[in-house]
Chains A and B, each alone.
Chain A
């Protein structure tokens, strides 16, 4: 695929002058994004309900996508407009369709240049998907399939999807703020199924990496085999909830549920109510959001408004640290802003969002946490199609903030697996969840759940496990 080309800052400034001149807007911002991606969809053809498909008989779809678009935000006090269009940025004469009536009720404020620089010095040299990417993707699917079949005979691939994309963006506003990003992200989604002892089970695995070589077919096959084994296992009658270890996949889902607690003034106030004079969690609990974290996939020097990103200590030593604040709230309660407005594409205006939200790894090894459980559960991941929700008490103060998430895992005693848990519901209050963290593992993993959310293995106490019947 061709390298991604973007207009220069000077071109954007010329266009801004034309747009503000036509509309009479006192401020304006232009954002241009270009991207290209390769999508591989593979699934076996099926010729009969009982027979597994021959390994070579695949339904293969390959898409090569080139996307390009821009967005203009223009306005001032009392009037504003958001306009997004596909294709190249119009030439200076192409703004004639805008006029003073194009602005409608609203109010637009834009960031001004920031003295602080991003902790990420420059843009990494990211390439774009090419012909090798397609061969690499097809080989990855084949490898995972063969290894999974070797680990769990009878398992079959239902569907595989690889999205390998690169994007670049540039923005400038009338106050002089500029920003550039360049990203490469590859996601893999694999659906497998198996039938064992008359029980059909399935699982989905969704993983992301900064480039195609970031995937380990053997590790993915093991994860799939574990999940399929659980999905087709008989339910264990007792669910000891005294000690519950949660693997990074489930811990990330839990952290994603808590995301709103760490954003803005409302989140901060809710978090303060949860602490009510006590510690929120153990002293070794650190939760951060960092747009430039080394291990992340979407590391950028600025956010999608051109505000520099930085590491924000949301929970520091078990206590609320600082909230994730936009530039508009800079200085609120003495806290500094961070670049935290992201666009899901050129069609969307920037919205407050985490970049890399994660629990910092602790000193305990994940193996030690698992083997240290005297009699409890080790929960691997969310149960497919199960519940995953939290009530954070923002709109309804009468109820305590709580959560429930359907999970799958094992009953364990020391290093021994006593039984399987195809599906259970982990519930509790948010307060108990934080206070019940007994150990933080050293195996931080980022997962797309969605967004980049990361967590290591956690040991939890004080929560409840409820049986959930198979549908």
Chain B
């Protein structure tokens, strides 16, 4: 498969000896059960706005660090917008509340920035236009393309995790009948083509009235299924969400869905250029069975939660940036396929709805209420998806939605990538899912 992801991976973010930093951090821990870490981050966003915008090119580059001390689940963090020995020492002082906490400031050098490549970004609008034209339609659209690069390195009091690098793209498309936004692992034709499909679906359903109720049978395409699973499985099983209503580890073993629901969170399997081998606390990530045959196996946890609840395993910590504390978050969700042919999901489903994508989803962490909004859908006829209908809103509860999944298809696709905005922290999330069939939602 063609890809536009940076072929050359960048060097380690920290070019100087991290041993001096681990030594310095080791001096901050007063008790053996205190955990200290330094988080180094570099972000670059290149944004190309639509033609006609006053400034089409926007380039943002930032780097900085934070130091955190964690003890018995309580954290103190200090952060700064520069990477240097002086800022590192200053953050250590602010965390401990004492001046000169690590002695003389260590020398810190960072690697060079990767060169700014513009060609792929400038090509994207034309390629997307071609993908739309191939469907024999045409309409005006304003295309905003962004390339995001993020490099992080975490240094513990004991050990330093290798630098992690992510590169991905986001698109924002404005058409006369609405906005479309999403994430792509690359701007290759294979990744842009499904976007054109979504736009044409929205064109065909423009101005159609909102669908009044939830039908008896719903078939969710891979994109829609991924968004639903993100809300009702991943968010629900994040330790901090679980803690809002009870003890996070008390849900282990709880049956949430049928035996065909096998859901894994594995950041290593995210698309090329977006995968991670360690999390934002420097812990090694694992393939985490969120649901195994419909039962909760291992909620998402970070160091703080794993320290508090012995049954939880760390390795799922993410932070939107260095100024924010890490929290347990999903990164790449995967619903395992069954051997049921995709076509059988539509059997005896006439009158139901096929939803290809949800444009947004929200979860009420207190009562488990979930709202999923689709910009359009298709009524299922005798031979599969037929007429378009207008926007659809599904309001249900986590347990009801998962209990309603009666079948899972056999063809998983990378789908449903988007921004997760839990607690105001914007993070990219990826998924791979087959289509699913839901029955009996009220």
Could you list which residues of chain A lie within 8 angstroms of chain B, going by C-beta atoms? 41, 43, 45-50, 58-69, 73, 75, 80-88, 104-109, 158-159, 191, 193, 200, 202, 347, 349, 384-385, 395-396, 471
| 14 pairs, A vs B, C-beta closer than 8 Å | A63-B325, A64-B94, A65-B78, A67-B323, A80-B55, A82-B58, A82-B59, A85-B61, A105-B57, A106-B54, A193-B366, A349-B55, A385-B364, A471-B396
Given contacts A66-B79, A87-B82, contact A385 B369 (CB under 8 A): yes
Q: In the complex, which residues of chain A have a beta carbon less than 8 angstroms from the beta carbon of B82?
A: 68, 86-88
CB distance from B322 to the nearest CB of A (A): 9
Partner of B362, one of A49, A58, A75, A385: A385
Q: In the complex, which residues of chain A have a beta carbon less than 8 angstroms from the beta carbon of B55?
A: 73, 75, 80-82, 106, 108, 349
Complex interface bits, B123-149 against A, C-beta within 8 A gives 1, otherwise 0: 000000000000000000000000000
CB distance from A27 to the nearest CB of B (A): 12
Complex interface bits, B402-435 against A, C-beta within 8 A gives 1, otherwise 0: 0000000000000000000000000000000000
Partner of B61, one of A62, A66, A86: A86
CB distance from A264 to the nearest CB of B (A): 15
CB distance from B61 to the nearest CB of A (A): 5
B64 at the interface (CB under 8 A from A): yes
Q: In the complex, which residues of chain A have a beta carbon less than 8 angstroms from the beta carbon of B95?
A: 64
Instruction: Specify the chain A residue showing the minimal Cβ separation from B82.
Output: A87
A80 with B54: CB separation less than 8 A: yes
B73 at the interface (CB under 8 A from A): yes
CB distance from B93 to the nearest CB of A (A): 10
Q: In the complex, which residues of chain A have a beta carbon less than 8 angstroms from the beta carbon of B64?
A: 86-87
> In the complex, A64→B93 CA distance in Å?
11
CB distance from A355 to the nearest CB of B (A): 22
B56 with A200: CB separation less than 8 A: no
Q: In the complex, which residues of chain B have a beta carbon less than 8 angstroms from the beta carbon of A200?
A: 366-367
B250 at the interface (CB under 8 A from A): yes
B325 with A158: CB separation less than 8 A: no
Partner of A202, one of B78, B324, B366, B396: B366
A81 with B247: CB separation less than 8 A: no
B367 with A69: CB separation less than 8 A: no
B245 at the interface (CB under 8 A from A): yes
- Sample of 19 more A-B contacts, CB < 8 Å, known A61-B325, A64-B78, A64-B94: A49-B245, A49-B250, A62-B76, A63-B79, A64-B95, A65-B79, A67-B81, A69-B62, A82-B55, A82-B57, A86-B62, A87-B63, A88-B82, A107-B54, A108-B54, A158-B244, A191-B366, A200-B367, A471-B397
Q: In the complex, which residues of chain A have a beta carbon less than 8 angstroms from the beta carbon of B397?
A: 471
Instruction: Specify the chain A residue showing the minimal Cβ separation from B51.
Output: A105
CB distance from B88 to the nearest CB of A (A): 13
Instruction: Specify the chain B residue showing the minimal Cβ separation from A192.
Output: B366
Q: In the complex, which residues of chain B have a beta carbon less than 8 angstroms from the beta carbon of A65?
A: 77-79, 323
Q: In the complex, which residues of chain B have a beta carbon less than 8 angstroms from the beta carbon of A50?
A: 246
CB proximity to A under 8 Å, residues B87-116:
94-95
CB proximity to A under 8 Å, residues B30-70:
51, 53-64
A48 with B60: CB separation less than 8 A: no
B1 at the interface (CB under 8 A from A): no
* Closest 6 A/B residue pairs (Cβ): A49-B246, A86-B62, A471-B369, A202-B366, A104-B57, A86-B81
> In the complex, A111→B212 CA distance in Å?
50
> In the complex, A104→B61 CA distance in Å?
17
A81 with B369: CB separation less than 8 A: no
> In the complex, A75→B55 CA distance in Å?
9
> In the complex, A159→B95 CA distance in Å?
23
Instruction: Specify the chain B residue showing the minimal Cβ separation from A43.
Output: B243
Q: In the complex, which residues of chain B have a beta carbon less than 8 angstroms from the beta carbon of A75?
A: 55
B59 with A63: CB separation less than 8 A: no
A385 with B371: CB separation less than 8 A: yes
CB distance from B373 to the nearest CB of A (A): 10
Instruction: Specify the chain B residue showing the minimal Cβ separation from A104.
Output: B57
> In the complex, A82→B76 CA distance in Å?
35
> In the complex, A104→B432 CA distance in Å?
37
Given contacts A46-B246, A48-B247, contact A64 B54 (CB under 8 A): no
> In the complex, A104→B366 CA distance in Å?
48
Given contacts A45-B308, A48-B246, A86-B61, contact A63 B78 (CB under 8 A): yes
B61 with A84: CB separation less than 8 A: yes
Q: In the complex, which residues of chain B have a beta carbon less than 8 angstroms from the beta carbon of A396?
A: 207
Q: In the complex, which residues of chain B have a beta carbon less than 8 angstroms from the beta carbon of A384?
A: 364
> In the complex, A82→B56 CA distance in Å?
8
Partner of A41, one of B247, B325, B371, B396: B325
A68 with B81: CB separation less than 8 A: yes
Q: In the complex, which residues of chain A have a beta carbon less than 8 angstroms from the beta carbon of B308?
A: 45, 59
> In the complex, A66→B77 CA distance in Å?
11
B75 at the interface (CB under 8 A from A): yes
Instruction: Specify the chain A residue showing the minimal Cβ separation from B84.
Output: A87
CB distance from B50 to the nearest CB of A (A): 11
B7 at the interface (CB under 8 A from A): no
Q: In the complex, which residues of chain A have a beta carbon less than 8 angstroms from the beta carbon of B94?
A: 64
B74 at the interface (CB under 8 A from A): yes
A86 with B323: CB separation less than 8 A: no
> In the complex, A105→B176 CA distance in Å?
24
Instruction: Specify the chain A residue showing the minimal Cβ separation from B248.
Output: A46
Instruction: Specify the chain A residue showing the minimal Cβ separation from B73.
Output: A59
B246 with A64: CB separation less than 8 A: no
> In the complex, A159→B79 CA distance in Å?
23
> In the complex, A190→B325 CA distance in Å?
18
Q: In the complex, which residues of chain B have a beta carbon less than 8 angstroms from the beta carbon of A104?
A: 56-57
B331 at the interface (CB under 8 A from A): no
Q: In the complex, which residues of chain A have a beta carbon less than 8 angstroms from the beta carbon of B371?
A: 385, 471
Q: In the complex, which residues of chain A have a beta carbon less than 8 angstroms from the beta carbon of B323?
A: 63, 65, 67
CB distance from A141 to the nearest CB of B (A): 14
> In the complex, A177→B155 CA distance in Å?
44
Q: In the complex, which residues of chain A have a beta carbon less than 8 angstroms from the beta carbon of B260?
A: none
B243 with A46: CB separation less than 8 A: yes
Given contacts A49-B245, A84-B61, A471-B397, contact A61 B367 (CB under 8 A): no
CB distance from B269 to the nearest CB of A (A): 30
Residue among B57, B177, B247 having the largest count of chain A Cβ atoms under 10 Å: B57
Q: In the complex, which residues of chain A have a beta carbon less than 8 angstroms from the beta carbon of B243?
A: 43, 45-46
> In the complex, A104→B122 CA distance in Å?
11
> In the complex, A58→B75 CA distance in Å?
11
> In the complex, A61→B366 CA distance in Å?
21
Given contacts A41-B325, A384-B364, contact A81 B59 (CB under 8 A): yes
A105 with B56: CB separation less than 8 A: yes
B395 at the interface (CB under 8 A from A): yes
Residue among A61, A159, A347 having the largest count of chain B Cβ atoms under 10 Å: A61
Partner of A46, one of B61, B75, B247, B364: B247
A81 with B57: CB separation less than 8 A: yes
B283 at the interface (CB under 8 A from A): no
Q: In the complex, which residues of chain B have a beta carbon less than 8 angstroms from the beta carbon of A48?
A: 246-247, 250
B237 at the interface (CB under 8 A from A): no
B203 at the interface (CB under 8 A from A): no
> In the complex, A66→B87 CA distance in Å?
10
Q: In the complex, which residues of chain A have a beta carbon less than 8 angstroms from the beta carbon of B246?
A: 46, 48-50
> In the complex, A200→B243 CA distance in Å?
16
Instruction: Specify the chain A residue showing the minimal Cβ separation from B206.
Output: A396
CB distance from A10 to the nearest CB of B (A): 23
Instruction: Specify the chain A residue showing the minimal Cβ separation from B393.
Output: A387
Q: In the complex, which residues of chain B have a beta carbon less than 8 angstroms from the beta carbon of A87?
A: 62-64, 81-82
B304 at the interface (CB under 8 A from A): yes
Instruction: Specify the chain A residue showing the minimal Cβ separation from B63.
Output: A86
Partner of A59, one of B74, B76, B79, B370: B74
Q: In the complex, which residues of chain B have a beta carbon less than 8 angstroms from the beta carbon of A66?
A: 78-81
Q: In the complex, which residues of chain A have a beta carbon less than 8 angstroms from the beta carbon of B57?
A: 80-82, 104-106
Q: In the complex, which residues of chain B have a beta carbon less than 8 angstroms from the beta carbon of A202?
A: 364, 366-367
A61 with B247: CB separation less than 8 A: no
> In the complex, A82→B58 CA distance in Å?
5
